[in-house]
Amino acid sequence: MADVLTVEHRSRVMAAVKGSGNKNTELRLIGIMRLGGIKGWRRNCSLPGKPDFVFAAARVAIFVDGCFWHGCPIHCRKPSSNREYWLAKIERNRKRDRKVRELLRENNWVVVRIWEHSLKHPQQVISRLQRHLAR
């Protein structure tokens, strides 16, 4: 019985977190790129780690990282219930992020990871992307 409740609780937390999660942040970044006149990106590229956006010609791979899932040092409030479970999960994500970065770099990709919270400052995101794309 306890297990059932735990699983149910987890999936509810998961749904709550996902609600403000990746889909939304990706759409926000698309809006920002439009604002900055940044073109030429593609989605759903089959590269390691499945980057959210890829600029194939410039070999730039973009990931938008949710503050919670990827353990943002500023906003990732560690949940008080099921703490161990979430800490382990976030740590796994961070490890995978590092591994993906190494893999892509070895293949001459530039990896740009954008925190969800930095989407509040579109101009900074635009300049950062332009800097990488102009190389």
Site string for Zn ion, 44-73 (x = CB under 5 A): -----------------------x----x-
Q: List the one residue from 94, 117, 128, 132 that touches Zn ion (CB under 5 A).
A: 117
Task: Say if CB 104 and CB 47 are below 8 A apart.
Answer: yes
- 75 binds Zn ion, rule: CB under 5 A: yes
Instruction: Tell me the closest approach of the beta carbon of residue 97 to Zn ion, in angstroms.
Output: 14
Which two three-digit tokens encode residue 69? 């899932």
Q: Are 106 and 86 in contact (CB under 8 A)?
A: no
- Nearest CA among 118, 125, 114 for reference residue 33: 125
Give the other-Cβ count within 10 Å of 100's Cβ: 20
Interaction between residue 74 and Zn ion (CB under 5 A):
yes
State yes or no: residue 78 binds Zn ion (CB under 5 A): no
Residues that bind Zn ion (CB under 5 A): 67, 72, 74-75, 115, 117
